[in-house]
Every structure is written in C-alpha cells, then in structure tokens.
Amino acid sequence: TSMVVTLEEEVLFELEGVAHTVIPAGKATSVFNEKLGVLIRSDPSVLMVSKVADEQSAKLLAGAADTTRCYVPLEQPDTLTALRSWIKQVGNPREVGETLGAVVAQRLMRRLCHTCRAPYTPDPGALKKRNLPADQGTELFRSSGKVMVKDKEVLCPDCHGLGYRGRIAIFELMMIDEQAARYISANELDSLRLHLRKQKMLYLQEAALTKVVEGVTDIKEVTRVMAGK
C-alpha cells in the first residue's frame, strides 16, 4: 500500500516492492536534480537517494519531507557534524527542524571469535580513562586466534587465527523530539547537544565500548575503527 522509490547511481540490492531509479555515475548534477524533482512530484511514501548532489538536491528533499519519508546519506563522522552539514546545504534551519526525524551515524566493527577470545582483567585506570565500569574483578575479552589442543597451542579452527569472526554495527542515534526540533530551528546546536545528552544519547565511541563490556569485541578493535572516524 506504500509507494517506495529510490534514486541511485547503482542498485546494490533489488528489493521487491521498491521502484529503483538509476542515474548512472557521471551524469550532470542538473540531470540528477531533474529526476529527483520528478520522483518527488509523484508523491511517494518513501524516497531514498544514494547521494545529495548539491544544495538544490538538499532543498528539494527537505521540501518533500513534510509528506514523504526521505532517507539521505551524508559522509560525515558523527550525527552532529552531519546535522550541521545538512543545515548548511538546505540553508534554512527552521525547515530542517520542522522536517527532520532522526540522524544516524554508524560504523562496522569485527566481532570477537567466541571460540578463541581470551579473558583478561584490565587495568582500572585504563577503564576509567575510557569511561568504562572499573569495578574490582571486571573481566573483558581480547582477540587471540589460538586455542589449546592436547596442551598444544594451535590456530583457532573457526577464525583461522584472525581472532575475529563476523562483524557488528554500532550506532549513534540522534532522535529529534519537540525540544530538539526547536533548538535546530533556532540553530542553537550547542544547546541541542546538551539536550541530547540529557536524553541519554550515546556517542559512537560510547556505543562501541558497550560492546567491549558485553564481550562482543575488544578495545583494540574499537581503537582501530574509531581512529578512522
């Protein structure tokens, strides 16, 4: 019952019930925006674009957000930086505040291999530095890549010595409630940041460290991923 459309340079996944529209990479920005305008005028329920070509694209998408749920990618390191970029491209903080539902930043991290992950007791000072629980007896895990077989250390048969198997996603989620929308409309982003923290919003690194505490990944992997933030 919903009309779901996309505007993409390449269709990565064919989804049933989704009308995929392809604009080959290299086409003029004006061509992209012209096709975007056509799709918006068709009044879709959901619209996803693979890029924001320029400020005109941003204005078209923001203008459509009253009636269409739009998914827009921005290559930014975190949610607040993405929000600043979006406001700049749209050129109207009030319009952004009135139409934005959420901003999500994400990273992929490797998952520890559960067959060979090695438990250890970390230094309490190092835990406090990373805002992790520093209770006595706290146990974390780190990658190993090896298991004991008949008192002999051998490569893990499940991860083949990598120490990791599979990946997980971590998310920084900025939900826009009524107060947040007012701060955005007034372009008061410092006040917005304080409000979001009061609402228990986790930054990307904090979300990643919760996975360390849960034993899903290790601090070395978090450091690797966040270094490229």
pLDDT one-digit tens code per residue, 103-153 = 999 999 999 999 999 999 887 777 777 767 666 567 899 999 999 888 899
Q: Are 81 and 48 in contact (CB under 8 A)?
A: no
Q: Which pLDDT score is estimated for 150?
A: 87
DSSP conformational letter for 10: S
Query: If you write DSSP's letter for every residue of 23-92 in order, what string do you get?
Result: --TT--HHHHHHHHHHHHHT--SEEEES---SHHHHHHHHHHTTTSEEE-----SSHHHHHHHHHHHH--
Q: Which pLDDT score is estimated for 135?
A: 64
Q: Is the pLDDT of residue 48 over 70?
A: yes
CA-nearest of 226, 218, 225 to 111 is 218
Mean pLDDT of the chain: 92
> Over the stretch 191-219, which tens digit does the pLDDT of each residue have?
999 999 999 999 999 999 999 989 999 99
Q: Which residues contact 15 (CB under 8 A, 6 or more apart)?
A: none
Q: Which pLDDT score is estimated for 137?
A: 60
> Over the stretch 159-193, which tens digit does the pLDDT of each residue have?
999 999 999 999 999 999 999 999 999 999 999 99
Q: Which pLDDT score is estimated for 229?
A: 59
Q: Which pLDDT score is estimated for 109?
A: 96
